[in-house]
Structure 1
Amino acid sequence: MTETVRVAVPRKGRPLEAVLERIATVADADALADDVSSTLRYEKAVTKGNATADRDVYARLAAYSDLTDPEKPEYTLVRDDREGKPRRVVFDSVTVTVGSDGPGDEVRVELIGREEPFRALRTHEFGLGFDSADLVLEEVVTLGEAGVESIADVNARIDPRDTDVRVVRGLGDTVYHTLLATPDVLPAGADLDREFVTDYEGPLCISPRYERLVEAVLGTDAIEGVEFVYPDPAIEEEAAIAESGLGVYLTMTGSTARDHGLVVGEDLFPSETVLMENLAEAGPAAETLKKALADVDLETALQP
């Protein structure tokens, strides 16, 4: 009998698309992944005012969801954080079947949308789930003198008395937390890397939510003498870093940073969607699914 594994996934955005792409590679679900992604991109455009819907949100929700077939996606409504708190259509659930090497080895996978998949794993609601690697560093990785750079580093810094959740691997949707600096802060010929920060004293501009993450990534030794400062919400992060002289920000190509006259330095840690497991909850079927998902060959910064 085919077993069902419940997997916590993000409700929207780049992380959910990364999950759907990975699931599609092991479950012959390309059409499903494309359908969900295109639906949510359209709904995002409507919520942001970049598209105009020809029917109200409830009519669209009813049209998108099929409650009679678990292999068709279901959606739900949440309140968006934008001004006016508009209702936004987000992913709710769908069931797919992951292929097998022989009869009886198939695994039915129920993808269930959660606002905070990582925390759902921490509370033992799920054995497997996907969420941002950032949350692991922000919430459960202990701080050390040296910084973290890999999954091995991350898992080694998780106190087993705090949580049973561990990171398995990344999905390849990589955006990096990167060091950025103005040329006058960086001495001629010097490399903008972790060692530079270790010798640096002065302001370091970061987003307030990433303070603990930056501490974990750089290490406590490197941030001695550093004063964390935060960007004014009214200006771009890169502009704020240009005013401070040194900062850490999420970058993909670094082009916007260079437009602000900044030097793009070391990629400190990938902000990447990761597959995670709760060691106390993952049974044989979850192990089969985890192996199928982890064995997919793709370019990712976060590997075991």
Structure 2
Amino acid sequence: MTDPLPVAVPRKGRPLEAVLERLADVGGTDELASLADTVSNTLRYEKAVTKNAVEADHGPYERLATYSDPADPANPEFTLLRDDRPGKPRRIVFDSATVRVRDVDFRLVGREEPFRALRTHEFALGFDSADLVLEEVVGIRPSGLSGLADVNDRIDPMDTDVRVVSGLGDTVYHTLLAAPEVLPAGTALDRTFLDAYDGPLCISARYERLVTAVLGTDLLEDVEFVYPASETSEEAAIAETGIGVYLTVSGSTARDHGLELGEHLFPSETVVMRNTAEDHPGIERALAVFEGIGTDSEIPV
């Protein structure tokens, strides 16, 4: 029997939940469904503790001992990290779990930055946000990106061996938003409008490279990036600036700030990634499991 194939996954957050839920859907077993529920519920509770939204009855080490049972490989394991919030509280996050999906054994291993773990050849396969691929390695060109299907073509093979395989379909969007007074009546809020626009564009500072890659340098020639103040929400800052780009799901928060929703510029989706320079006895069978895993993905398969 071969060892389980190690797969890098996020330690917490929406991408990890998306991975566990989709593996449970594909595998179709009670064990996988229970794992997804257990990990998601545990981490949501721990997030609330870290944010002081709830008060825990026990300390982090006692809770960690309750959650993790290393003697049983079927149970998920958790670990402690220092959170970057004020006071550097200890936060319980996902560590690892061994799962079987369609007769393929995987060892899911939590990493703070799975994409970088693949880049440094620690893993052959992994899951992470497509945003991080754009922020790390996608080349900046005069023309922009239209979707996730274009990402691999923009990766310099001299820079990394990592490629996107498919997506999970857990899509939210980097969306063009504008205050009504900036947008003339009957004008579509899209790339064409932005191409003719001259002025400030409000974005989150962490998305500067991503937005530049998505829109292209030609379109941004007369645009100046501005950023929200630390105490101001992105939607409020965009409303004050007049136009900007930010993540939306339903768009309700943007509308609450009086903003019009425009073009979905780029999908933010959890993706399956492969380091093409790495090999493993189970890699082809694993890829067969992942093939077409995201039926609602923006990536054609």
TM-score, normalised via structure 2 length? 0.95
Alpha carbon RMSD of aligned pairs, Å?
Answer: 1.3
Specify the alignment match of 2:162 in structure 1: 165
2:279, 2:24 → 1: CA distance? 22
1:177, 1:224 → 2: CA distance? 20
For 1:84-123, list aligned pairs within 5 A: 84-99=87-102, 106-123=103-120
Alpha-carbon shift at residue 256 of structure 1 (Å): 1.4
Contact 2:148-2:267 at 8 Å conserved across structures: no
SS of the aligned residue for 2:282 comes to helix
Specify the alignment match of 2:63 in structure 1: 60
Q: Does 1:213 find its partner at 2:216?
A: no
Residue number among 166, 175, 180 corresponding to 1:178 in the alignment: 175
The residue type equivalent to 2:158 in the other structure is: R
Specify the alignment match of 1:103 in structure 2: none
The residue type equivalent to 1:84 in the other structure is: G
Specify the alignment match of 2:291 in structure 1: 294
2:149, 2:267 → 1: CA distance? 14
Q: Does 1:71 find its partner at 2:68?
A: no
Specify the alignment match of 1:23 in structure 2: 23
Contact 1:121-1:277 at 8 Å conserved across structures: yes
Contact 2:148-2:298 at 8 Å conserved across structures: no
SS of the aligned residue for 1:280 comes to coil
Specify the alignment match of 1:10 in structure 2: 10
Specify the alignment match of 2:128 in structure 1: 131
The residue type equivalent to 1:54 in the other structure is: D
The residue type equivalent to 1:97 in the other structure is: R
1:166, 1:73 → 2: CA distance? 28
Contact 2:166-2:292 at 8 Å conserved across structures: no
1:51, 1:194 → 2: CA distance? 43
SS of the aligned residue for 1:31 comes to helix
Contact 1:10-1:117 at 8 Å conserved across structures: yes
The residue type equivalent to 1:160 in the other structure is: P
**Which stretches of structure 1, 4 residues or more, deviate above 3 A after TM superposition?**
none
Identity in percent: 66
Specify the alignment match of 2:247 in structure 1: 250
Alpha-carbon shift at residue 44 of structure 1 (Å): 1.0
Q: Does 1:233 find its partner at 2:230?
A: yes
1:303, 1:87 → 2: CA distance? 40
Distance 1:177 1:109, change over 3 A: same
Contact 2:50-2:91 at 8 Å conserved across structures: yes
Alpha-carbon shift at residue 297 of structure 1 (Å): 5.5
2:269, 2:125 → 1: CA distance? 17
**Where does the alignment leave 5 or more consecutive residues of structure 2 unmatched?**
none
Q: Deviations over 1:72-119 (max 9, x none)?
A: 1110000112221110110000101122xxxxxx32100000000000
2:267, 2:160 → 1: CA distance? 22
Specify the alignment match of 1:102 in structure 2: none
SS of the aligned residue for 1:156 comes to helix
Alpha-carbon shift at residue 3 of structure 1 (Å): 4.3
The residue type equivalent to 2:41 in the other structure is: S
The residue type equivalent to 2:99 in the other structure is: V
2:120, 2:211 → 1: CA distance? 25
2:191, 2:294 → 1: CA distance? 30
Alpha-carbon shift at residue 303 of structure 1 (Å): 3.5
Alpha-carbon shift at residue 211 of structure 1 (Å): 0.6
Specify the alignment match of 2:192 in structure 1: 195
| Count of aligned residue pairs for this structure pair | 298
TM-score, normalised via structure 1 length? 0.94
Alpha-carbon shift at residue 20 of structure 1 (Å): 0.5
1:235, 1:77 → 2: CA distance? 30
SS of the aligned residue for 1:184 comes to helix
